[in-house]
Structures are given as C-alpha cells and as structure tokens.
Amino acid sequence: MTITKMKREFKFLCLTLPDPNEGMSIENVQAFFSTTYPEISTATVTGPEAVGDKMVYRFERAIGAKG
C-alpha cells in the first residue's frame, strides 16, 4: 500500500487556482488570492472535495443586494 499526500486545488468561477503554499491555511490562501480577485475576500469556502488526486476547495461568491 502506498500513501500519497493529496494536493490542494482552488476553484473560483471558471478559474482553477493553484495552491500558493501547502503550508498556508485556507483563510490565508483566501487572503492571498483576494489581492488578485477582490470578490474572493467575501466568498464562502466549500470543500474539500476529493477529485482524482486533488482536494478541491471552492470559493463561492457572496450573493446579495447592492447598496
């Protein structure tokens, strides 16, 4: 039996975002990507979901009214 560590992958809208650093917490990854994608800062994180050899986390945009 071989045990392999699953890599993390992040999804936002139709984008697949790589793991910037496997030592970072999910909250730190969210803050890291929010500099490029500001909507991620208010997104909720779902997952992880095992897909193949990866653990996939999804940033779901917050839905609300403007104003």
Tens digits of residue pLDDT in 26-48: 999 999 999 999 999 999 999 99
Nearest partner of 56 among 17, 25, 24, judged by Cα = 17
Nearest partner of 8 among 42, 61, 60, 59, judged by Cα = 59
36 exposure class (CB count in 10 Å sphere: 0-12, 13-18, 19+): exposed
- Measured distance CA(25)–CA(12) in Å, rounded: 17
Tokens read off for 21: 């650093």
Rounded to 5 degrees, φ, ψ at 62 are -75, 135
Q: What pLDDT, on a 0 to 100 scale, did the predictor assign at position 56?
A: 96
The ranges assigned to domains in the chain are 9-60
Prediction pTM value: 0.83
